[in-house]
Amino acid sequence: MVSIKDVARHAETSFKTVSRVINGDTRVRPATRERVNEAIQALGYRPHSGARMMRSARSNIIGFLSDRVTTQPHSGDILRGAQQMADAHGRLLLLFNIDAEAGDEHRRRAFELLMEQRVDGLLYACDYHRDVELPPEMQQLPAVLVNGFSTTTALPALVPDERLAAQQATRLLLAEGHRHIAFLAPNPRSVATPLRTAGFHDALIEAGLEPSSQAIITACVGTPGGEEEYRVESALAQLMSAATPPTAILCGQDRIALQLYLALARRGLTPGRDLAVVSFDDQQPISGALTPSLTTMALPHLEMGRQAMTLLLEGDPPPGTLTIPFSTTLGCSHRRV
């Protein structure tokens, strides 16, 4: 491998001057600088990050520890956002993904390996919004938690603003004139569920409606096997047979919306025409394929990844949880009946 000394020899100067050129030191005569740059080109010289690291005690590498990320579809957007901002700051991302099956000691080892690489900071990303128990040693370096929060550690954390999103989604339906809105709630064990329910309530109260008069049905439950089971067909049957059936349905997840689309189709009903539908998540494979197009609150995964990295690199992030708003993906499904 060609080193800085080879370049110096080729450019007929000292290797120190080459170092200066590489690091943009202004105190190099233009002619010398030119010679050095030519030599670098000619020899295909690449600075050795290891040696740099040793001298400067910085690696320009950020560790990305992901807790089952990429298991859930599209949560990889966190990674993508983080990568974008890391790149913008001239950093690289060292990835370590912990699979669901892996135990705590695996996570500890992952952390250890990243530390050996002398990463300058750490992002810890969760696959879905949840409370995560972090090993205390994680406080040894600047770290930001993404898509999760930690009650045991005082780390800055970024989570999606579930409550606000639910409020916004409900407002969309209220603005279309709906007064009977049902909520098909996701898995009650999910952190997001009570928050989305609360946001639903917020909007109703704001509109002068009585939350208790609106139907909330749990449409997804976890099975003992860890799988999730959906009960949308029966929920819809229950809703439609009520004294005053809803004219709009807020789905707690795109998967629920998908099932609702199917259940409606079986009844000869079309979302956005016979019944308004709004959903959460904006999972592309679903939201991009449903017709009529689904109006859904898009999880800000990309944005969280970007902001987390920015926070880590620019800010001196205060401990505490920051909420990031969803964005609204407007389709036709929420339109006025």
Partner DNA sequence: ATCGGCTGTGACAACGTTGTCACGCTACTC
Partner DNA sequence: GAGTAGCGTGACAACGTTGTCACAGCCGAT
- Interface residues with DNA (CB under 7 A) are 1, 3-5, 13-17, 19-20, 22-23, 26-29, 31-33, 45-48, 51-52, 54-56
Q: Which does 276 bind (CB under 5 to 8 A by kind): a second copy, DNA, none?
A: none
To a second copy, the closest distance from the beta carbon of 293 in angstroms equals 11
Figure out which of the listed residues 14, 29, 41, 49 binds a second copy, where binding follows CB under 8 A.
49
Binding status of residue 97 toward a second copy by CB under 8 A: yes
Question: Smaller CB distance to DNA: residue 114 or 299?
Answer: 114
In the block, tokens 């560790």 appear at 63
Paired residues of 182 in beta bridges: 249
Report how far residue 8's alpha carbon sits from residue 35's, in angstroms, rounded to the nearest whole number: 9
**Rg (the chain; Cα; Å):** 26
Question: Smaller CB distance to a second copy: residue 15 or 96?
Answer: 96
Binding status of residue 103 toward a second copy by CB under 8 A: no
Binding status of residue 19 toward a second copy by CB under 8 A: no
Q: Which of residues 221-240 bind a second copy (CB under 8 A)?
A: 230, 233
Figure out which of the listed residues 28, 93, 207, 217 binds a second copy, where binding follows CB under 8 A.
93
To a second copy, the closest distance from the beta carbon of 2 in angstroms equals 12
Question: Smaller CB distance to DNA: residue 31 or 100?
Answer: 31
To a second copy, the closest distance from the beta carbon of 93 in angstroms equals 5
CA distances from 226 to 38, 103, 184, 187, 191 (A): 61, 17, 20, 12, 16
The total number of residues written for the chain in this structure: 337
Binding status of residue 286 toward a second copy by CB under 8 A: yes
Segment near a second copy (CB under 8 A), from 47-55, 165-173, 190-198, 315-323? 47-55
Question: Smaller CB distance to DNA: residue 68 or 118?
Answer: 118
Binding status of residue 334 toward a second copy by CB under 8 A: no
Asked if residue 291 lies in contact with residue 131, where contact means CB atoms within 8 angstroms, the answer is no
Q: Which of residues 163-222 bind a second copy (CB under 8 A)?
A: none
To a second copy, the closest distance from the beta carbon of 80 in angstroms equals 5
Residues that bind a second copy (CB under 8 A): 1, 46-54, 57, 59, 61, 64, 69-71, 73-74, 76-77, 79-80, 83-84, 87, 92-97, 99, 112-118, 230, 233, 254-255, 258-259, 261-262, 265-266, 268, 283-286, 288-291
